Amino acid sequence: MALEQLFERDDAKPIDRTVQKWNTATQSLCIAAMTLFFLMRAYTRVFLLNGFNKEDWTCLGAWLLGVCYSVIALIMGAHGGGLHIDDVSPHDQVVFQKTVYVTMVMYGPTAYLTKVSLLWIMTRVFSPFRKAVTFIYIFLGVMLAYYIPAVIVKIRICDPISKFWAPDHPGTCLNQRSIIMADAVVSVVSDLIILLVPLPLTLGLQLPTKKKMRVMGILGAGGLAVASSIIRLILIVYTGQSEDGTMAFMRINMFGNAEIAIGVICACLPALSAILSRVYHEYSNSNKATGGTSGHELSKMKNQSRSMKTDKSRSRMSYLEMTSDQDVLMHNAQSEPKVETTVHGDRNYYGSENPGGSLAIFKTVDVETSVTRRE
């Protein structure tokens, strides 16, 4: 801090800390929002539903890495990130470059786990659409095939690694801008796919427009991160080779943090939907039970409460089993088969409402039974 004050006196003008302040606000908001939404998801899965599924564990990993990613960005800002490089002391420049190295390595695994959480939810919701599910798994495999070597390349970006934050050391380094650019392009493409995949699948359902919009909104919300990833890509193109690295990379990194935070939050939205659905369900039942009921009838109901306890318990269990993260969006008929209409030689999908107030996808099945009588 003393060196920074010295620079301020030498330059005879105050240091512009606008970007630094924006970084502090951005990272604080990202950490708070990711934590709040993930805790709601964890509460829903542990206390209301049937425990963690595979996508919940990947979401846990994405949240942990996302929080660490934002904390490192705060450290980056404390050591010159967001200031012009001339206003940053040599010591802080070294620390800044070390944080840049860590964030480069962390970005890939964090982004991948976030996207896996979102796409695994889609595979559960749209499991009757086998081609779409197959495409999602192939896409996840392609992303994994990119991110594994990408992380290895970033770890070994310089030989020796210390040359990354000490350019005067002997050794060689790969092109940092090209590596970050590749990551940005992959992020834009993958975010667009996450945004677009639910649209044609949901539009093909025989649902009211409102319900279609709700499903597309919840499942496609993760694609909102595409805005941050596009801005990040643009900044890399125009400022990636700037000599004012402490200013340029801080701006790029903030949009990377925003992209991750939006993805984690959107992966938790089905859990929030589950809580809201449960509250609405209980409120509706309460209104039906008390609406238009006289005092005498209420007294009667109280006297019958013991006999109704078992039925209420069963109803609650049935509701909670039905209302998983994905079932809040659509209840898959494969777990509770229900045939609305049978069309020979064709597959049709229908939507309706289940008792929990959640949407259902029903796959029509053509069943043909033949009976042979033995003489």
**Domain for residue 149, yes or no?**
yes
State the pLDDT at residue 287: 64
Rounded Cα gap, residues 245 and 88, in angstroms: 11
Residue 298 falls inside a structural domain: no
Question: Is there a domain that residue 252 lies in?
Answer: yes
Which residues of the chain fall short of a pLDDT of 50? 1-10, 292, 298, 306-326, 328, 330-375
Reported as type and span, the H/E element at residue 178 is helix 176-196
Give the pLDDT score at 296.
Answer: 53
Quick check: is 301 in a domain?
no
**pLDDT value of residue 168:** 87
Q: What's the number of domains the chain is made of?
A: 1
Structural domain of residue 92, as residue ranges? Answer: 16-272
Give the per-residue pLDDT at 323.
43
CATH number where 151 lies? 1.20.1070
- Cα separation, 195 vs 191, whole angstroms: 6
pLDDT score of 216: 72
The span from the first CA to the last CA of the chain, in angstroms, equals 100
Whether residue 6 is contained in a domain is answered as no
- pLDDT for the residue numbered 39: 92
Whether 215 is in a domain gets the answer yes
Q: Is residue 117 part of a domain?
A: yes
Task: State the DSSP string of 138-163.
Answer: HHHHHHHHHHHHHHHHHHTSEESGGG
Report d(CA 163, CA 171) in Å as an integer: 7
What pLDDT, on a 0 to 100 scale, did the predictor assign at position 99? 94
| 285-337 pLDDT, tens digit each | 666 655 545 555 545 555 555 444 444 444 443 333 344 444 545 443 333 33
Q: Quick one: CA dihedral 114, 120, 125, 128, positive or negative?
A: positive
What's the pLDDT score for residue 257?
Answer: 92
Question: Does residue 317 sit within a domain?
Answer: no
| Overall pTM > 0.75 | no
